[in-house]
Chains A and B, each alone.
Chain A
Amino acid sequence: MIRIENLSVAFGRTEVVKHVSLDLRDGEILGVVGESGSGKSVTALTLMGLVSDSARMTSGRILFDDVVLREAGKPLDRALYRSYQGAKMSMVFQEPQTSLNPTQRVGRQVEEVLRLHGTLTKEERKKKVLETFLAVGLKDAERVYASYPHQLSGGMRQRAMIAMAVILHPRLIVADEPTTALDVTIQNQIMALLRGINQKQNNAMLFITHDLNLARRICHRVAVMKDGHVVELGTAEEIFERPGEEYTRRLVEAVPSRMKRISDAESDRKTGSESPVLEVRGLSVYYQEGGNSLFSAQRKRRAVEGADFAVYPGESLGLVGESGCGKTSLSKAILGMNRRIEGEIIHHSVRPQMVFQDPYSSLNPAKTIGWLLQEPLRAAGALDRSLAMTKGDMEAAAYDMLRRVGMGEEYFHRRPSELSGGQRQRISIGQALISGPGFLIADEPVSALDVTIQAQIMELMRRLQREMNLACLFISHDINVVYKMCDRIMIMKDGRIIEIGKTEEVFENPREEYTKLLLKEG
């Protein structure tokens, strides 16, 4: 019913989509997987007629039920597209937070689809929006209708987006990473919802994702994209069980799964025999709400309650939980960035260093890599004269660290903007390690990276841990990543650590219901 024939799209001179041919039947879910930059999103946006004006279609055409929507060399027929957009084909985006207009009520935004297509009266439109809200699982439909986006949770916002996409029962739904920005437990609900709609309305769905586990679970067929090409297209089973192409095989292997672990036998260390680098006893962390102005009363809110654990040299301790569970509050308290605490935090090593999630914003773009790597040494020298090093020593240390994180000396004089995401994360890690701490806190260090890069960074961290006998508190929402990386694991929920134990034991015999839920959905 939908045919993309030999599609090529270029930005300026660079082609980002090259001779892509795909087709979709009613009721079918076609997954498009690939790493960032593979052209999967541009393909979807071109299909929807939403790709930015600077993109040019250089070959091919797009057909919807034998109607040519778009053809290379001919200008985009906006009026034709508008009659399809929202009515016959619709899209669910990745970020429900930013994809809704922040200053318009949600009900009105959904209703706009009806206003644009069709002739319903005001009352009929509202009735239909409310019905659709109920159908996508927004039980408090009236309230959602009158709410602004920021008043809803992430999951509710995505449901509202889905309501907007399905309200006119379009033949095609394009879903671009619809669950990536959501928590694991919510992810599954949203996927179940999309799946249910697909079965009930029998619409075709183009499902774009970088998450291969997800693609495997819900797609009938899967197309693997790399550098603008479709390298392999087949049924989900074929792609994942018998990948034909080398690249597909690598992609499938890089996916963190329960089968493969990096933490090897050697890492099954006898925790407890050594003295810990960090002990946390009965720790509660608070943060203040309000209090920005002279008059508003300050309220204390407890973010972490009664945490008890220790981290031992050379081990990786995983900290898993959904957003808002207190993971970040806990790590901030350990770093000394939040002092509103009760209980004890005892450091037996130098202050821990931190690796952040987003390697794009956590490196100062104006400085060279060499400068960035030396900065912790300079800071330490400025604080404590006895630690001050000569310029030559610092440079030598920076070169040494570049090598250790697997990058060539030529990067010393480059700037962050010239590096890829994975390379930047390597530099962040080098920056954290250069002052030789015995303890590292990594807050979602691989969440912003592609799967193959993820695997490389995790390997690197494991290797450095071995070489430097480094303890690591590894924070993540992705239970599979934690399984791959960590010796022990802590599960956090609503500010409490509900389960802690050796990774295998927790995975094989989870004690808590919540842990079981996380394991099932991850």
Chain B
Amino acid sequence: MLKVDVIEEGTVIDHIKAGKGQRVLEMLGIDENYPHRVAMVMNVPSKKEGKKDIVKIAGIHVTDEMANKIALVSSKATINIIKNSKVQNKYLVELPPELKGIGKCPNPNCVTNYSEAGDVKTGFEHYKEKYKCTFCERVFEAEELI
């Protein structure tokens, strides 16, 4: 098992779907310009999922809105908020009941992908573990929207 230093202030995101750790960092806007320590471990053995990714991010406490976005790529991820080197709060990400202005409709013929549409924000409603576009009414897996 790889060892990664404990962080004093920040967030540990565990149980990320294997291979999606990098995508989670991108969604949080963390790139080479991020000033604090970031660790990502891929393909960690997991009893529940077989394997998983974990990210540790110093200097940031993930908000509910960020957690909702993470749920779109990995619906079973857990968020651990770290304060003074201790887990202050731990919770499972949740797929939000609706999304407005978050995500892109994968249907190329949807009006939200129409370059001349003008003032339009994408919209999705949670529908049987998936999402339905409120415009074209098609149903997609959550991770297809990101």
Bind each other: no
Which residues of chain A have a CB within 8 Å of any CB of chain B? none
Which residues of chain B have a CB within 8 Å of any CB of chain A? none
